[in-house]
Amino acid sequence: MNLPDALLLAVLGFITAVWGYKLARLWVSLLSGIALGYVFYQYSSHELQAVLTPLVLFVIGLIVGAMIGFAIFRLAISLVAGFAIAQSLISAGLFVANETVLIVLTIVFAMILYAIVDKLLALVFIIGGAALFFIGLLAVHLPMIIVAILTLLIIVLGIYKNISR
């Protein structure tokens, strides 16, 4: 890895460790807004398009979709993870395989995960970003002790910025 690539990796690792969770929420909000804006723009009636231009409809959809995406971020992650856990337990034979059990287990696990998803997801971004930072600094050929200390500082900063809020 050449020097510019290594430095870029270190910078991206720093950004991911410190602000990754907040950027993920922003990204989900943006994508939700664009999707709903497109739906408003593409599938609105001709009468509504005559009153409001398609661009105005897109902007309204973008704003509403971004708010929805931001609001359901935790819920969506919790439901997907709750379903995966429930399906895994049913597949392992620990519960009877039927839809009712799957739905109840999914809701129970989603409720548990909903309470802790912020901390877990932030921790994933912190560790992943610190790993990228570590790899990038090692590729610059800094001494291992300096890389380790700087990476530890990035982890502490990431925890402070994301989990201690």
pTM: 0.64
Report pLDDT for 152.
Answer: 94
Burial pattern 151-164, b for ≥16 Cβ within 10 A else e, equals beebbeebeebbee
Question: pLDDT (tens digit, 0 to 9) for every residue of the chain, 165 residues total?
Answer: 788 888 888 888 888 888 888 888 888 788 888 888 888 887 776 766 666 788 888 898 899 988 988 888 888 778 877 888 888 888 778 888 888 888 899 899 889 988 888 778 888 888 888 888 888 888 888 898 998 999 999 999 988 888 765
Report pLDDT for 165.
Answer: 57
Report pLDDT for 33.
Answer: 87
CB 63 within 8 A of CB 55: no
Residue 148: what residue type? A
Instruction: Show me where the domains of the chain are located.
Output: 3-162
- Which residue in this structure is represented by tokens 């409809």? 57
In angstroms, the CA 36 to CA 61 distance is 5
